[in-house]
Homo-oligomer: A and B are copies of this chain.
Amino acid sequence: MLENISSKQIKKMTLPQLTSLCEEVRQMIISTVYKNGGHLSSNLGAVELTVAMHYVFDFPEDKVVFDVGHQCYTHKLLSDRYGSFNTIRKKGGISGFPKREESVYDCYNTGHAGTSVSAALGIAKARDINNKNFNVIAVIGDGSFNNGLVYEAFNSLRLLNTRILVILNDNGMSIAPTVGSIHEYLEVLSASDEHKAKKEKHANIFERFGFAYDGVYDGNDLAVMIEKLTAVKEKLKTQSVILHIFSKKGKGYSFCEENPEATHGISISSSDSISKEYSEVLGEKLTKLAEKDERIVAVTAAMTTSLGLSGFFEKFPERSIDVGICEEHATILCAAMATENLKPYYAVYSTFLQRSFDEIIIDICSQNLPVTLCIDRAGISGSDGETHQGVFDLSFLNPIPNLTIAVPKDLKEFSDMLEFSTKFNAPLAIRYPREGKRIFKSFSPIVYGKWEEMTLLTGKAVLIACGEHPVTLAIYAAQMLESEGITARVINARFVKPLDTELLNNIKEQYIVTVEDNMLIGGFGSLINNFFAGKNKIIKNFAYKDSFIPQGGRCELMEDFGLSCKAIADYIKNAIR
């Protein structure tokens, strides 16, 4: 049935037909996610809600913004993307997140938490200015609800004098269980008999913001969802509404229902076997260090397990803080704790660190406080696409004074850098990819601002690389060149900031090649170009050019976007000849 369906046809279906449609959607999501990877349990929880939305509302004239986008698969299946659904998250395929470029049914791209209410308000305000008439819906989970952006958007609802529907899809989990007072408050509302909370005067903060509050309903009961959405659609003509539903994460698939955190996102192993993830090293090493150093505190924003810190959190609960999806707050907490002689480690994905940019400048670095940023998923992170690549971090961190930036070449070096960090009394960022595959034979102790020679031969060219994948590419390139009789030296630039100026000043080679998995603009290579500006060197930078990097496998994307050992070797061959 799903195969031939369009959003418009759903409106003509009977409840039994819709119920069986839900079942079909659910099976399709499960089988596809187990093939392609992706967000499973969050999507399973939102099937009935989405089918009901398509039954009641008129897409694409009406607009829906999915917060983060972890709940949009059913919407995709019901809106022209059944045929391409098997390509989801694959290179060249459809995205795992809402994408305007893909379909008129996707009105706003999301990926980072908390943006949906702001976006819905902007679309609704534009509708009013344009004298148009359609409905705007934001679908947001309780995890995103912690983010300050949601509060900023709520705060301006009356001010904007417009109307939206917010569907709060509450499943008690973001990726990990949701934390914080707002979530406890949602539980209070959920626990109320016969939606009593709603009736108590002043009982509901959402009404303060100008919403009519309606809840809590079973989000997995299709008939209830259709009934409520129909009523809400009518009410929406005169007022903004918040519809609070409770849905079961992983609904309809018992393994997911029982393991919602583990099945939030499913990863598919690439053909290369992964020896270990950097996050594991973070967890093990930081736990060991914290046994000896009582100043060490670990802070996360809702990603404790993925960052490898579950063990640390269990062992040192009093020195572990997960604030939920509140990256800015987490950053300031670290700075403030550092003023009181603690040693805070803020672990975060590269892409989400973008939210803390101002706080890294003002709170951490302008105060020169010894906070360590542990930046995971740096470089190309893969199948999540444009919104999740960790390719900007070196560019936005490099210009910040007082910040030291370290990039390990392998898991062992990462461990050594963590050891180094405990004695380092200033702001420090360590950025690393998700997976590590090799431990290099060469290693030398970490010395502040000093690089490591990976090969000692001096020839006509020197390759300077930072990070495991770039150093690996540089070494392969050097080996390829060696087989053709060209000697190229390889240097591991452990510190992107400060540069090892002594080593740089002693470079005899005429040709310098930089390799990094970051944007060219503002990245490591740019620092090298700055250093050698006006000096007589021929420099070539291997880094990502000025475009957004879509979804795909890490290795294939690195190659597509110019980072391959062959490209490096070819450049040097041609340049030297």
Using known A-B contacts A208-B181, A328-B152, A337-B126, determine if residue A112 contacts B362 with beta carbons closer than 8 Å: yes
* Contact (Cβ within 8 A) A119 B332: yes
**Nearest CB of chain B from residue A445's CB, rounded to whole Å:** 26
Q: Which stretch in A50-58, A409-417, A514-522 binds the other chain?
A: A514-522
Q: Which stretch in A84-92, A198-206, A451-459 binds the other chain?
A: A198-206
Chain B residues with Cβ below 8 Å from A160 are 321
Within 8 A of B (CB), among A157-212: 157-160, 179-182, 184-185, 200-203, 205, 208-210
Mark each residue of chain A from 418 to 439: 1 if its CB lies under 8 Å from any CB of chain B, else 0: 0000000000000000000000
Which of B127, B155, B341, B521 contacts A398, CB < 8 Å? B521
Mark each residue of chain A from 313 to 334: 1 if its CB lies under 8 Å from any CB of chain B, else 0: 0000011011110101100111
Within 8 A of B (CB), among A315-364: 318-319, 321-324, 326, 328-329, 332-337, 339-342, 354-355, 357-359, 361-363
Q: How many residues of A contact B (CB 8 A)?
A: 110
**Nearest CB of chain B from residue A377's CB, rounded to whole Å:** 15
Using known A-B contacts A333-B118, A362-B112, determine if residue A181 contacts B153 with beta carbons closer than 8 Å: no
**Nearest CB of chain B from residue A221's CB, rounded to whole Å:** 28
CA distance A123 to B398 in the complex (A): 28
* Contact (Cβ within 8 A) A329 B153: yes
Using known A-B contacts A180-B156, A526-B526, A534-B540, determine if residue A109 contacts B367 with beta carbons closer than 8 Å: yes
* Contact (Cβ within 8 A) B326 A155: yes
State whether the Cβ of A533 lies closer than 8 Å to any Cβ in chain B.
yes
CA distance A354 to B203 in the complex (A): 36
* Contact (Cβ within 8 A) B297 A129: yes
Copies of this chain per assembly:
2
State whether the Cβ of A396 lies closer than 8 Å to any Cβ in chain B.
yes
CA distance A132 to B339 in the complex (A): 14
* Contact (Cβ within 8 A) B548 A401: yes
State whether the Cβ of A130 lies closer than 8 Å to any Cβ in chain B.
yes
Using known A-B contacts A118-B333, A179-B159, determine if residue A321 contacts B109 with beta carbons closer than 8 Å: no
Chain B residues with Cβ below 8 Å from A365 are 548
Chain B residues with Cβ below 8 Å from A339 are 100, 107-108, 122-123, 126
CA distance A395 to B357 in the complex (A): 12
Chain B residues with Cβ below 8 Å from A181 are 154-159, 208-210
Chain B residues with Cβ below 8 Å from A366 are 109, 386-387, 548
Please give the residue numbers on chain A whose beta carbons come within 8 Å of chain B beta carbons, in ascending order: 100, 107-109, 111-112, 115, 118-123, 125-127, 129-130, 132, 146-160, 179-182, 184-185, 200-203, 205, 208-210, 297, 318-319, 321-324, 326, 328-329, 332-337, 339-342, 354-355, 357-359, 361-363, 365-367, 386-387, 392, 395-396, 398-402, 519-523, 525-527, 529-530, 532-534, 537-541, 546-548
8 contacting pairs across A/B (C-beta < 8 A): A107-B339, A126-B339, A129-B319, A150-B151, A154-B181, A366-B387, A392-B399, A530-B541
> Sorted from nearest, which 3 A-B pairs have the closest CB atoms?
A148-B148, A122-B336, A126-B340
